[in-house]
Amino acid sequence: MRKVAIIGAGMTPFGEHWGQGFRDMVVEAGVKALTDAGISGDKIDAGYIGTMASGRLIGQEHIGGLLADYMGLNPIPITRVEGACASGSLALRQGFMAVASGMHDIVVVGGVEKMTDLGINTVSDILGGAGDQEWELFLGATFPAIYALMARRHMYEFGTTEEMLASVAVKNHKHGAKNKYAQFRKEITIEDVMKSKEVSAPLKMLDCSPITDGAAGVILAPMEIAESFAKKPVEIITSAQASDTIALHSRKSLTSLNATKVAAKNAYKMAGLTPKDLDVVEVHDCFTIAEIMAIEDLGLFEKGQGGPASLAGKTALGGQIPVNTSGGLKACGHPVGATGIKQAVEISWQLRGEAEGRQVKDAHIGLSHNVGGSGATAVVHIYKSD
């Protein structure tokens, strides 16, 4: 396998884009990534795009063909990749394998979702299809309820408190306030979270990631030629994916995502690293409990210590291990197909020393963690810079 590097990265601001369509956002992110890499579209050999539900959200299918057309990349192959909220990271994994294998040299990888054109109840039902439609969504269990079950069990087993959950949101909003691409750039307090409207106990509105429009893109190349394009290429040193039962009721534990644990174990093994080697991490915090479970499952903290660590500020900028410097899904936003790519963009900026206002000092090793559904799919990438 060849070594693979990110040579360009770009994204749109995340938020409610009433004046931009699906294809407009992808073109914007793609052009930014190409410009960052200093190359033109005729250098691209292939592309992969992650999007979860474009057919139901905007009535558009055949996304690969659409984007090859509107990005001016015909006749190269562009392939759509779907894995619920992990669609972006799965697209990145496909691009990584294409370059690593020698099948292609220069590959564009993107993620996009246009979610705000429909009402919140309709969007919630569409997102619910990422779980077990027959045994969860059909019976009324949307994702806030499913993650609330996880939170309740975590509180029961480990003494996790609602204040600990709230501290995750507070930290991510503080980071997001420093990110010009974030949907929410306003700091909040634990009291704000605790007083926000209850969605599914114990989760409140400010424990939940928003519905978002946005796109992100990266350009991949073999490391041996990466430096001829980019002054600061960021190597993807490993890509790992794992699966678990799609329904929550079939799992052995409600307080851990086994797919995350397996993907992380494989990623660390392939990279020859441990959690202690990481300088900055982006995790899938669709709900505050999801971040707490993620930092435990990734081995950053012992099981049951994710809540206390968050409350103590150990995952904040300047803390033991900065987590979600972008603001995470919670504050930066969660256009589901774009999230995994946004994570890669943020880690690239961090490792290049270009994360304006939220830079982790001397960051050289980063990790991104992206989850599909309530944990049926998990993808972990590890990155490094010289």
Q: Dig out the tokens for 243 from the structure.
A: 């699966």
The three-class DSSP label of residue 131 is coil
Taking CA atoms, 336 is separated from 35, 60, 110, 120, 281, in Å, by 24, 16, 12, 15, 19
* Apex 10 CA angle, 315 and 293, nearest 5: 25
HSE of 281, CA atoms in CB hemisphere, 13 A: 30
Phi and psi at residue 106, in whole multiples of 5°? Answer: -110, 120
Q: Which of 300, 333, 323 is nearest to 167 (CA)?
A: 323
Q: Dig out the tokens for 214 from the structure.
A: 């946005």
Q: Mark whether 173 is an active-site residue.
A: no
Phi and psi at residue 69, in whole multiples of 5°? Answer: -65, -55
- Amino acid residing at 134: E
Q: Dig out the tokens for 348 from the structure.
A: 């690239």
Report the chain's C-alpha Rg in angstroms: 19
Q: Which of 180, 179, 178, 177 is nearest to 188 (CA)?
A: 177
Q: Mark whether 334 is an active-site residue.
A: yes
Phi and psi at residue 242, in whole multiples of 5°? Answer: -145, 165
Taking CA atoms, 179 is separated from 10, 110, 135, 304, 325, in Å, by 14, 20, 39, 30, 8
The catalytic position among 85, 208, 286, 332 is 85
The catalytic position among 175, 284, 334, 381 is 334
How far is 304 from 267, CA to CA, in rounded Å?
Answer: 23
The three-class DSSP label of residue 199 is strand
How far is 8 from 349, CA to CA, in rounded Å?
Answer: 10
The three-class DSSP label of residue 371 is strand
**Helical (H) or strand (E) element with 55:** helix 54-57
**Any residues with CB less than 8 A from the CB of 348 and at least 6 apart, and which?**
6, 9, 218, 234, 383
Q: Which residues are catalytic?
A: 85, 334
